[in-house]
Amino acid sequence: MLKIGSYTFHSRLFLGTGKFPSADIQKEAIQKSETEVLTFAVRRMNIFDPEQPNFLENIDLSKFTLLPNTAGAKTAEEAVRIAKLAKAAGMCDMIKVEVIGCDKTLLPDPVETLKATEKLLEEGFTVLPYTSDDVVLAKRLQELGAHAIMPGASPIGTGLGIINPFNLSHIIEQATVPVIVDAGIGSPKDVAYAMELGADAVLLNSAVSGAKDPVKMAEAMKYAVIAGRLGFEAGRISKKYYAEASSPMEGLIRL
């Protein structure tokens, strides 16, 4: 069981809702993933063409815990405004703080992320900041009272997987709140790796929505999360420099 603030989840897979090829594929992928948490963004409505399709209207959002993000924000102030708008919809008090500090890498701005987290905690939100894999920053966010830490595996949408397992392990080891690996994951292998390192959950979007078959990938990711988590709980063997036979050395048949 995964606990974040006052929420409890069975599934350790959080799914983003961006860039799916169609509403039906998105719906089916969500189903197959068995996720309980969906993320989404807050944007201006196109009031001059209100009939343009919005895939989210296809999903019964009441069945999920909703985790809106503050994507698009470049300052703490903008992030707080987006968070308040999201909360006003009356469907959630969780917020993924995402304050981008670099357009090329989409890496988060650590200073603004910290400020936004502090402010939103004061306002009573359940706050999950998206952060780089900086060990000290993760600690500072946790000390502020963040309800979970969401370090990126690698930059958003790159599919490069976990590029710094060392940092990620340290973040996980020192964590007193759940660690959700967010961003950069490309394949089920990356998911299993994150979970084996001891992550409490993963948040995926492009890895599923951009796959050749998003529905099948959603299912694959579900199993990867389960396999990785079980592997972590089971405790892997240590790595050795020399071979060690798994068959007995006694009773060898000789010529």
Tell me which residues touch another protein (CB under 8 A): 16-20, 26, 39-45, 47-48, 50, 54-56, 66, 68-69, 71, 84-86, 88-91, 156, 183, 203-206
CB of 51 to another protein, least distance (A): 8
Residue type for position 214:
P
Catalytic residue flag (residue 240): no
CB of 91 to another protein, least distance (A): 8
Cβ–Cβ < 8 Å for 216, 208: no
CB-nearer residue toward another protein: 56 or 144 = 56
H or E stretch including 173?
Answer: helix 165-174
CB-nearer residue toward another protein: 88 or 234 = 88
Give the separation between CA 135 and CA 130, rounded to whole angstroms. Answer: 13
CB of 221 to another protein, least distance (A): 14
CB-nearer residue toward another protein: 152 or 178 = 152
Q: Which residues does residue 16 pair with via DSSP β-bridges, in sequence order?
A: 39
CB of 106 to another protein, least distance (A): 11
Identify the CA nearest to 125 among candidates 87, 176, 79. Answer: 87
H or E stretch including 210?
Answer: none
CB-nearer residue toward another protein: 1 or 47 = 47
Q: Which residues does residue 126 pair with via DSSP β-bridges, in sequence order?
A: 94
CA 9, 71, 225, 148 torsion-angle sign: negative
Give the separation between CA 246 and CA 237, rounded to whole angstroms. Answer: 13
Catalogue the active-site residues. 96
